[in-house]
A and B are shown apart, each in its own frame.
Chain A
Amino acid sequence: MPDKVKVTKSSGEVADAEIIAVFDIADFNRSYVIYSYDETDPNGLAKLHVSQLKEEDGKYNFIDVETDDEWTRIKNVMREIITGGNA
């Protein structure tokens, strides 16, 4: 399991990120990545970043989740994993 990866942000900044999970949702025929910059919000919760994962030209692109439906499905997958569901 990779501990840390280097992610180049849109600002050009390269930051260490921690890969939390990567999964496919077959209904959308897309892959998604959950990662963390080890940040917390004001309430002390862990901030996680969720992006659509696209592999192009030998590199990964973390792009935006396009629809609300996708986003809802992603959150449901996260709940499923946390509550002990399995792939």
Chain B
Amino acid sequence: MASYEFKKINPSMNMSETGGKVIALQTDGKNKLKTAYENYYNAEIAKEAPAATPQVEQPVESLDIPAPVNTDVVNFEPAPANLDPNTPIDVEPFKIDEPVAPVDINPAPAAPVESNPIPAVDTTPSTDVISPVEFVKRFDDLVKITSFDEASRNLMRNQIRSSVALAGIVSDLNTSKLETMDLFNQVKNVQQTMQTTQNVVQNNQNEASLKLAA
């Protein structure tokens, strides 16, 4: 257990000596006494000193810049090693006493311009008249690439087919190709086609109703 406690004094205060004792110590002992007290004293001074503001080191962000890709490397051709700046360069002087050839200012006759004839357009009426079946096929192809839904596509297809069928009947009548029975059959076919079209329309309406209900 410590029997003493160091004490700090104010060295600037006046000090008066009126009594005391004297003791002789080896220098080593004196130094040890002094060193022990110095350590205490300096520690106390450090405690009383205002705490220095800690310097917070700001983190430094590193910015990663990706290396450019496909960068062309420019190779500068090095100067020739044997280039001597003191070597004179041979420059051929202008020959000012050389006669100048006269300039012919007469314009040359213009060369005849070739005409580029435009080929005549064949205005002969084409005999490539498509048949009703081909017409329906082409129409089908056209309808396929449109944005109609399948039901609308079928409806339009059937209407066209009906119209073509009627047109065919009228044409045959005009050319007297149809007998009475044939005419009856053709009309019956057209009726069937029209019925089919109506069925398709009805189906489309039913489907639309179901979609709305859903």
**A-binding segment of B33-41, B133-141, B152-160:** B33-41
Contact A46-B22, Cβ < 8 Å, known A19-B9, A23-B7, A87-B4: no
Contact A63-B42, Cβ < 8 Å, known A23-B7, A24-B5, A36-B30: no
Total interface residues in chain B, CB < 8 Å: 35
Interface mask (A46-87 → B, CB under 8 Å = 1, otherwise 0): 111111110100111111110000010101111011100111
Which residues of B are found within 8 Å of A51, using beta-carbon distances? 17, 19-21
CB pair B14 A77 closer than 8 Å: no
CB distance from B4 to the nearest CB of A (A): 4
A9 CA to B18 CA, complexed, in Å: 7
CB distance from A69 to the nearest CB of B (A): 13
CB pair A45 B24 closer than 8 Å: yes
Total interface residues in chain A, CB < 8 Å: 55
Q: Looking at the complex, which one of B6, B25, B37 makes contact with A45 (CB distance below 8 Å)?
A: B25
CB distance from A5 to the nearest CB of B (A): 5
CB pair A50 B25 closer than 8 Å: no
CB pair A22 B34 closer than 8 Å: no
> Does B130 interact with chain A (Cβ within 8 Å)?
no
Which residues of B are found within 8 Å of A65, using beta-carbon distances? 20-21
CB distance from A9 to the nearest CB of B (A): 5
A76 CA to B26 CA, complexed, in Å: 16
Q: Looking at the complex, which one of A1, A17, A21, A75 makes contact with B23 (CB distance below 8 Å)?
A: A75
Which residues of B are found within 8 Å of A73, using beta-carbon distances? 3
> Does B213 interact with chain A (Cβ within 8 Å)?
no
CB pair A1 B38 closer than 8 Å: yes
> Does B8 interact with chain A (Cβ within 8 Å)?
yes
CB pair B22 A47 closer than 8 Å: yes
CB distance from A47 to the nearest CB of B (A): 6
Which residues of A are found within 8 Å of B11, using beta-carbon distances? 2, 5, 19
Interface residues of B (CB under 8 A from A): 2-9, 11, 13-27, 29-30, 32-34, 36-38, 40-42
| Additional A-B contact list (10), CB under 8 Å, known A71-B21, A87-B4 | A19-B9, A23-B4, A46-B27, A50-B20, A62-B19, A64-B20, A65-B21, A77-B3, A78-B25, A82-B33
Closest 5 CB pairs of A and B: A64-B19, A51-B20, A2-B11, A45-B24, A21-B37
A–B complex contacts, Cβ < 8 Å, 17 sampled: A1-B38, A5-B11, A5-B15, A6-B14, A19-B11, A21-B34, A21-B37, A22-B9, A25-B3, A36-B30, A45-B25, A46-B29, A49-B20, A62-B15, A62-B16, A63-B20, A81-B33
